[in-house]
Amino acid sequence: MNSFSKQQGSTLIFAMIFLVVLTFLAVSTMSSSLLDEKMAGNTQFKNQVFQASQSEGQGQFDLYLTDHSFMETEYANSQKLPANQTPTIPPEAVDHSSANISKNLELKFVIKAQPPSGFSFEIFQGLIFDQQTVSSLGATGTSSDQSLGINYAAPYDDTKL
């Protein structure tokens, strides 16, 4: 009986220590889970903005295939003095307004070059353009910057543009 009375309360101390250790493990696991959730959300935002920027770039390219006026305007503006002209800003081809995504589009003439393959060197010249699409998502700070080079086959005679 004497040894039993000396052991009273030791179980309580071990239980309290075990409870404190379990509490620390639970808090550590919870903070790790919150960090994983934030990383997954940021990855989702990044992919959403990247896809929006890509689709806008492709939409603009498809628009240029049917309407050459934006490239012709930018080329004409680049031939005027001073050499650094403000790039042409074409209208948005894809509407992402419901997703709270803002976009900035620019088309800029870069240089004359060889025409794309399949076009005669005697009749056509290549006009190289840079299409820049920057998309951002609300106040998240997530953005995607996409650039596309376009080689436009234009007649040598600039009056036929």
Coil vs helix vs strand at 105? strand
Residues 6 or more apart whose Cβ sits within 8 Å of residue 108: 74, 78, 87, 88, 129, 130, 131, 132
Residue 24 has pLDDT above 90, yes or no: yes
Domain range summary for the chain, segments of one domain joined by +: 2-160
Q: How confident is the model at residue 136 (pLDDT cuts 50, 70, 90)?
A: confident
State the pLDDT at residue 26: 93
Residue 86 has pLDDT above 80, yes or no: no
CB atoms within 10 A of CB 107: 22
How far apart, in whole angstroms, are the C-alpha atoms of residue 101 and residue 71? 25
pTM of the full structure: 0.65
